[in-house]
Structure 1
Amino acid sequence: MHYVLSDIHGNKDAFDKILSMIDLKPEDHLYILGDVIDRGDYGIELLQHIREMENCTLLLGNHEYMMVNALRHPENLHYKYVWRNNRSLITFDKFFKLTEKEQEELLCYLETLPLQLEITVNRRKFILVHAAPQELYETENMRRYHLKEFMVWHRLTPFSQMPARKNVIFGHTPTLQFHKTMHIFHGKRMLDIDCGCGFPNSCGQLGCIRLEDMTEYYSNDGVFSKEEAAEWRKTHR
């Protein structure tokens, strides 16, 4: 089975709940679309745990991107300011409680994270990315930014034109901005799965989807089959 979630933002309790729900088997695979760190208390611990998971692939998010920039270039005040301005203080403090060897290993790990992956499940093609797929770099007229920055920072909208015959799964933009609820947003060839886990005081939660049958898992609201999720969306617009 293939599972996808995004934007844990240091919320270890929510991540543990989702892992308990999906009961990940050795033959299964979990994809995490970035932003493991910041806002919550356990970003560093979660990074270390995810790094050791053999059946888990982490993609680069804008918060990991900021972290690498700030820590690899400590003389650059802009990098430091941008990361700190995005609620990184707990992550920063915990990083420097690691040994130098652990710090270097963690940064090297983050530097190897993919920006985008394409997988096929039941003959359906999925593009996995944190914020926006590279295919939209030209059409979204964002060439003033570097491609890497576009892929981890750009905000898609329900009207963004996705690549033909592919389904884009992304995080970064809380689903509340798409359909006024913290459940997975299903658009035209797009799935937004950032259910606001970084904002638990605003009813945010961690969302996860199983691609084989589109079952949805939520750290607060439980499990929804594809049919139940569709019915829920009808009554919560």
Structure 2
Amino acid sequence: MRVFAISDIHGCNQTFRALLRQLHLTPQDHLFLLGDYIDRGPDSRGVLDKILQLQDDGLQVHCLSGNHEQMMLDALADPANLRGWFINGGFETLQSFGVQQVDAIPERYLQLLSDLAPAAASEDYIFVHAGLNMRLDDPFADEQAMLWIRDWYGDLNREWLDGRIIVHGHTPQPRQRTMAALEHLDTHPVLNIDNGCYFGQANDAQGYGSLCAVDLTHRRLYFEKNRDGGW
């Protein structure tokens, strides 16, 4: 049994599928997907279809919400939020479904995104999209922070973590920084796996533009260069 995590796919369906082929998932493995499946990239629907297929195939895939899923749901609830979503790549999501209105997206997909939890925790790990507001006695009480927070490492509460490692995305960082963080998890128990896949391969020289997966069981990283084009 292995524990994997992937974050911030952002509509990069071909890249996502290629990365999954590297992992060789089995029914005993657990795959945590940390949100931002949609927006910016060209095939958000394809990403969601692949996630649904993995679940239908009996694989243990645990899906969390990201801020982009929340922006879409906010736009669905109130058209006043549409502009903010479109600025952040929502138009590309509508294009992938072949529709012009968010409420025209098929119900199966809307239900999938509505049911997403903001975090998941086990004895060894905490999985979350953006991070945690560790100034609170209960960091899980701040759902907005779990979707949106940045620059929170300075508030890391090791006593509250009790030996657990936080795995998150949301803030793109170069491959080299993620690789270094993996080597130092025993002393700094936080791992950001967002490599800015949607940037595209034009940013490869700067260390960005791949989709990242981590095998936490064996502490191994996998990178798949963007196959879908940059945003």
Q: CA-to-partner distance for each residue in 1:38-80, whole Å, 9 max, x for gaps?
A: 1110112211221232221210001111011112322xx2x21
Q: CA deviation at 1:103?
A: 1.8
Q: CA deviation at 1:182?
A: 6.6
Alignment-derived partner of residue 7 in structure 1: 8
Distance in 2, Cα, partners of 1:182 & 1:168: 13
Is the partner of 1:113 in helix, strand or coil? coil
Matched, 1:166 2:171: no
Does the 8 A contact of 1:7 with 1:35 survive in 2? Answer: yes
The TM-score normalised by the length of structure 1 is 0.77
Matched, 1:106 2:139: no
Does the 8 A contact of 2:11 with 2:39 survive in 1? Answer: yes
* Counterparts in 2 of 1:73 and 1:184: CA distance versus 1, 3 Å: farther
Q: CA deviation at 1:108?
A: 1.4
Matched, 1:208 2:213: yes
* Counterparts in 2 of 1:150 and 1:158: CA distance versus 1, 3 Å: closer
Corresponding letter in the other structure for 1:210:
D
C-alpha RMSD over aligned residues: 2.8
Gaps in structure 1 of 5+ consecutive residues: 222-237
Distance in 2, Cα, partners of 1:137 & 1:61: 21
* Counterparts in 2 of 1:194 and 1:115: CA distance versus 1, 3 Å: same
The TM-score normalised by the length of structure 2 is 0.79
Greater share of helix: 2
Does the 8 A contact of 1:167 with 1:189 survive in 2? Answer: yes
Corresponding letter in the other structure for 1:147:
D
How many aligned residue pairs are there? Answer: 207
Q: CA deviation at 1:87?
A: 1.9
Q: CA deviation at 1:137?
A: 5.4
Corresponding letter in the other structure for 2:210:
Q
Alignment-derived partner of residue 128 in structure 1: 127
* Counterparts in 2 of 1:81 and 1:214: CA distance versus 1, 3 Å: same
Gaps in structure 2 of 5+ consecutive residues: 227-231
Distance in 2, Cα, partners of 1:92 & 1:130: 23
Q: CA-to-partner distance for each residue in 1:94-146, whole Å, 9 max, x for gaps?
A: 33539x786222111111111110124xxxx1000000136x2527xx9xxx9
What percent of counterpart residues are identical? 29
Q: CA deviation at 1:181?
A: 5.0
Does the 8 A contact of 1:35 with 1:61 survive in 2? Answer: yes
